[in-house]
Amino acid sequence: MSNNIHKDQRVVVQVDVQNMYYSAKNLYNAKVDFKKLLKQAVYSRKLIRAISYVIKAETPDEENFFEALRNIGFEVKIKDLKEYYGGQKKGDWDMGMAIDGIKLANKMDVLVLVTGDGDFESLVKHLQARGVRVEVMSFGKSTAKELKEVANKFVDMDKKKKKFLI
């Protein structure tokens, strides 16, 4: 791996599961290998916490998937899918992820943010101002330009898609 990686760095990994799931599905009609993703994110450094943020949509095999994430080493945070008047469905963890990132800032040297969502640009800038190195991992084709630009490092999963997809 490249520069600025030190084995004594304390790492927190936050995964926007919905974002990664739909990116892999829409780009490659495949699923993300979260075990390999976590291994790459940590990269021989000290893992403090690995948190996956999921939306409960009452789909078959959902519980098995959540359990698989736990077995890999993720803490799984679950939010229900909200259905609004008119049938619109919404579920996202942006605020929860940002708050967790800010709360954990003094316990980590590096945040590996696994999402392509440009809404996280403000969080990245805030954490960097507090001395946290922020690395973003996601599929470049579905990652917001501003997120790639603001990250200390961007790992484009498109470039090694065979490694990250099942």
**How does DSSP assign 70-138, residue by residue?**
HHHT-EEEEEEPEE-TTS-EE---HHHHHHHHHHHGGG-SEEEEE---GGGHHHHHHHHHTT-EEEEEE
Beta bridge partners of 13: 50, 112
Regarding the domain delimited by 10-54+93-164, which CATH topology (the fold level of the hierarchy) does it fall under?
Rossmann fold (3.40.50)
What rounded mean pLDDT belongs to the chain? 94
Q: What's the rounded mean pLDDT across residues 16-20?
A: 95
Among 160, 123, 118, 164, smallest CA distance to 12 is for 123
Q: Distance between CA atoms of 13 and 143, rounded to whole angstroms?
A: 17
CA pair distance 132, 110, nearest whole angstrom: 6
Does the pLDDT value for residue 2 go beyond 60?
no
8 A C-beta contact, residue 120 and residue 139: no
For 80-102, b where at least 16 C-beta lie within 10 A, e where not — what string?
Answer: eeeeeeeeeeeebbeeebbebbe
Cα-only R_g, the chain = 15
Give the residue-averaged pLDDT of 8-35. Answer: 96
Q: Phi, psi at residue 92, to the nearest 5°? A: -150, 160
Average pLDDT over residues 105-129: 97
115-124 pLDDT, tens digit each: 999 999 999 9
How confident is the model over 35-63, as pLDDT tens digits? 999 999 999 999 999 999 999 988 888 99
